[in-house]
A = this chain, B = another copy of it.
Amino acid sequence: MISKGLLKYIRSLQIKKYRGLHQAFTVEGEKSVAELLQSGFALETVLVTQKFYDKHTALLQKGFEVQLVGEEELGKAGSLETNNAALAIARIPEKRPFLWNPAQLVLALDEVRDPGNLGTIIRVADWYGLTSIVLSENCADFYNQKVISATMGSFTRITPHYVALEDFLQNLPAGVPVFGAALEGENVHRLPLEPSGVLIMGNESHGIRPAIMEHVTQPVHIPGRGGAESLNVGTATAILLDNFYRHL
């Protein structure tokens, strides 16, 4: 039986303000919680069904509270339509400074607002081996439950850095190439690309803000020939990253 206090706490973590206040967030569903349990995240409480407990007993022998709950109870506590496995309350890791690594491509997002899109982007960034992501301050919140769910566990391997993006770009070492996705950019299939520098993806409706675009040294464009006016930002990020990682 989940206590009223715990239920209230879990629900409060659906809201960004309370995630900030408590420095905690929730993770739901079998795959996501299983990946979380194998990661270095500090945990407060993990609610599990008997089924999940039996399957993942070895992962549950650590220093946090484990509560056995029924599927129905679990469904009511969380935000997923169906969850017959687990819900974990994890600590938001302390902010780490962004360390510039000239040998790695830096993916930077300018005002990407949709949690589903951010989740897709984190998953594909993890696919290509990126370990961090830079976000303008008003991007969707990394610890939003919809973002976490859409990453399919990749949130455990990508460190978010929320920054004032203009300042971040101004302070880059001299000579670093800054790529930016833009409809009027160069055909990405015609550019010799290596995974270093910065790649900026813009907002779902407006693209990259003009003040940010001023720092872009190489606008890039994905050539199409059909009638679609644009690509979804998650889709476009995936295609561009694939073009940077063609040596793989």
Contact = CB atoms under 8 A, between A and B. Distances in A.
Contact of A242 (B222, B225, B229): B222
A232 B128 contact: no
B152 A228 contact: yes
Given A235-B238, A238-B231, A242-B243, A225 B124 contact: no
Interface in A173-231: 187, 189, 222-231
Nearest to A246: B189
A152 to B, nearest CB: 7
Give 3 nearest A-B pairs by CB, closest first: A127-B224, A129-B225, A129-B226
B228 A120 contact: no
A154 B128 CA distance: 29
Contacts of A130: 226
A154 B227 contact: yes
A231 B124 contact: yes
Copies in the complex: 2
A222 B224 CA distance: 20
A129 B238 contact: no
Q: Chain A at the B interface: mostly helix, strand, loop or mixed?
A: loop
Interface of A: 116, 120, 123-131, 152-154, 156-157, 187, 189, 222-232, 234-235, 238-239, 242-243, 245-248
A152 B230 CA distance: 9
A126 B228 contact: yes
A127 B230 CA distance: 7
A123 B226 CA distance: 10
Contact of A225 (B154, B222, B248): B248
B242 A127 contact: no
Nearest to A234: B235
A203 to B, nearest CB: 15
A51 B227 CA distance: 25
A235 B189 contact: no
7 contacts: A124-B228, A126-B226, A130-B226, A154-B227, A157-B227, A223-B245, A239-B242
B231 A127 contact: yes
B232 A248 contact: no
